[in-house]
Amino acid sequence: MTIKNKTIVVTSILGNDNEILILHRNSTTKSMQNKWAGISGYLEPSEDLLSRALVEIYEETRIQKHQIIMDKILDPISVEIIPDMILLIQPFYFFTSSRKVILNWEHTEYHWINSYEIDNYEFVPKFKELLEICFSRF
């Protein structure tokens, strides 16, 4: 019997005007380098999922809490990133009134994309499926 290490990650997806924000991960991040993703972060001890999501949104985009509205808590997913390491991902979908993004070091660029552009990017595992769920809400 193999015991796998599990890490909880919060992923936030931001929508604005029928488009969704995607971020290109820096080559210096711990995992999923040079892939497109949402806003993500590891859950800290004694922290709740929504609070971590809001912290990550601000840290990675400088979009403030008063500029977003939560639309949906999506079903959790799991991703095996390396043998014996599973990420348990809790995704959230928010609408934002802001399209102005100021990136931190974790990302090199960002795009606001529509549903027709989804196949033009190499995403982190299972992120495309999350995007499809969010696009279906428009």
The per-residue pLDDT for 133 is 93
User: And the tokens for 14?
Assistant: 């931001």
pLDDT at 138 exceeding the cut of 70 = no
pLDDT, average across residues 122-138: 92
The per-residue pLDDT for 83 is 78
39-53, 78-92, 100-114: least confident range: 78-92
Question: Which CATH number belongs to the domain containing residue 9 in this structure?
Answer: 3.90.79.10
**Domain count of the fold of the chain:** 1
- pTM of the shown model: 0.91
> Range of 108's domain?
5-135
Dihedral (CA of 81, 137, 103, 89) sign: negative
The per-residue pLDDT for 30 is 81
